[in-house]
Structure 1
Amino acid sequence: MSHRPDHDIADDTDQHLDTDQLAAALVEQTTAFTEAVAGADWDAPVPTCPAWQLRVLVGHIGQEHRWMSDIVRTGGASPVPDPHHAEPPADWRGWLRDGAAGLVDAVWTVGADTPVWTFVGPRPARFWLRRATHDTTLHRVDAALHAAVPYRLPPRLAADAITELLQLLRLLALPAAEGLRPTAAKLRGQGETMRIVTTDVGTSPHTVTAWLVTRTPEGLTWQSDTGGVADVEVSGTAQDLLLVLARRLPPTRVSVDGQAALLHHWLEHSLL
């Protein structure tokens, strides 16, 4: 088995997408989100975000991009806004488009490597571009499932989202971070391991096709992984793996070998 060192969220060596690609993906996924919600019932609850109506989800996307832009431009902390307070304007398409473009512009203006505030400590400005891209991608799927329209995520985009999800959960599972997501503390363990294996991501430098996650009493560790045995192995396309790990699709969409109860426990406590 070959491993690379355990990674911090500020380490970009395992990003599948560079800053230019993240910027393009944010614009593309925002456009896809817009297309998915255009003909849907905005007053109906979103099945994969049951506490929200579709109009709240639309408001959240436009509001979130602007909130992140302000953080990037000022570098300072900002309280998380309430999506219920974000009423989409009449030109909601332009509003969503301008929000995504504004975040991209903010990152390029201040510099992608410039440290700014984040909820896990100072990080390069690209942190927010990456966070926005993957959150928008998941909500694009939420909207597509709600509207019963087809969707397809590029494998490298989905794989990068898996890496980011693991990086965030690693930090949220630390004892010092329990106040942010208390349930993430239950992801700590006694050495249990889970392999996540993609079946459709091509091999190239700095591309991860499999991850080995270990649960310890102090928190989570994860490593890019090229083989070996784990307590549970989850495999499938990068898209399906991401959507299962993000609790948008049931585990039956992927192959699960070994102790399935470990996967179900992970899913129960890993929602961001």
Structure 2
Amino acid sequence: MKPDYPYALTFARYRELMEKDFARLLELTRSADAAARIPACPDWDVEQLVRHTALVYLQKAETIRTGAKPQGRWVPEDILQLGPAEILETCYQRITGEFDAHDPSDPAESWVTEDQTVGFWIRRLTHETSIHRYDLEAALGDPQPVETELAVDGIDEVLTVMFERGRSAGTDSGPAEVTGHLILESGGASWSVHLLPHDVEISADAAGSSPDASISGEPNDILLWLWGREPLPIQAGDAGLAAELRRRLAATT
């Protein structure tokens, strides 16, 4: 990874946490009712969530292997015919095989111009796995929190990579409804978010700021709120800014 991600973990730690969350995801996939609904994504059932996660793994494995994001009908038919647990395990083996075969600094296409590396995808897919592990547990009534260190890094990732850089990659949240300055504080870290009429500016240093509103809470709680999984943590000031941040996040992630 080339940009300065201030709360990034080591690649060994990302791989360890990804393996742990994947093991839980696979375990639950094998035992869950495939038709159970996903609370945060009511249009999805367990099988759809699992297949989505599997194909994200496979797409990124192909991106690393070939040097470009696959296009067209690229998923082999024999993989599509696999059951939920089988496709999840097969595609996870593909992406971890690519991770094992490369250094994190090796080139790999991504939407972040300054970070075209395999390490980008190690970080991104660790977060992807943790959120969808949580989703599956929530569908079964027993959601467990994201590891604290991963949640702090995850807050930074959703704000600065998925949201801020995602907008520059061509996504659009539509006309601004509310503008202003919002501070998020969690786990000893803080983020300054300026919601502008047609843009957003995010900084990992909110020292000395005088925001219009603030949000604070445990890292897991703020991360899951940012991803639309749980209610808004503690807030102060203009409540409309928190709602506007979530609206723009939902439109661009």
| TM-score tier after normalising by the smaller chain length | 0.7 to 0.9
Cα distance change on mapping 1:32 and 1:10 into 2, 3 Å: same
Distance 1:81 1:165 in 2: 29
Q: RMSD of the TM alignment (CA)? A: 2.8
The answer on whether the counterparts of 1:188 and 1:220 sit within 8 Å (CA) in structure 2 is no
Partner of 2:172: 182
What letter corresponds to residue 31 of structure 1 in structure 2?
Answer: A
Report the Cα offset of residue 20 of structure 1. 1.2
Q: Please tell me whether residue 211 in structure 1 is matched to residue 191 in structure 2.
A: yes
Report the Cα offset of residue 93 of structure 1. 4.1
Q: State the number of aligned residues.
A: 246
Q: Please tell me whether residue 196 in structure 1 is matched to residue 184 in structure 2.
A: yes
Report the Cα offset of residue 152 of structure 1. 2.2
Report the Cα offset of residue 62 of structure 1. 1.8
Of 122-131 and 237-246, deviating more is: 122-131
Aligned to 1:138, which of 116, 131, 144? 131
Of 158-167 and 234-243, deviating more is: 158-167
Aligned to 1:225, which of 205, 208, 211? 205
The two structures have a TM-score, normalised by structure 1, of: 0.79
The answer on whether the counterparts of 2:152 and 2:219 sit within 8 Å (CA) in structure 1 is yes
Distance 2:176 2:31 in 1: 39
Partner of 2:241: 262
The answer on whether the counterparts of 2:108 and 2:118 sit within 8 Å (CA) in structure 1 is yes
Deviations 1:24-53 (A, max 9, x none): 121111112223344332113322112222
Partner of 1:45: 37
Identity %: 22
Report the Cα offset of residue 173 of structure 1. 2.7
Cα distance change on mapping 1:87 and 1:70 into 2, 3 Å: closer
Partner of 1:171: 165
Look up the SS of the partner of 2:201 in the other structure.
strand
Partner of 2:122: 129
Q: Please tell me whether residue 244 in structure 1 is matched to residue 200 in structure 2.
A: no
The answer on whether the counterparts of 2:176 and 2:198 sit within 8 Å (CA) in structure 1 is no
Distance 1:234 1:80 in 2: 42
Unpaired runs of 5+ in structure 2? Answer: none
Higher relative contact order (CA 8 A, sep 6+): 1
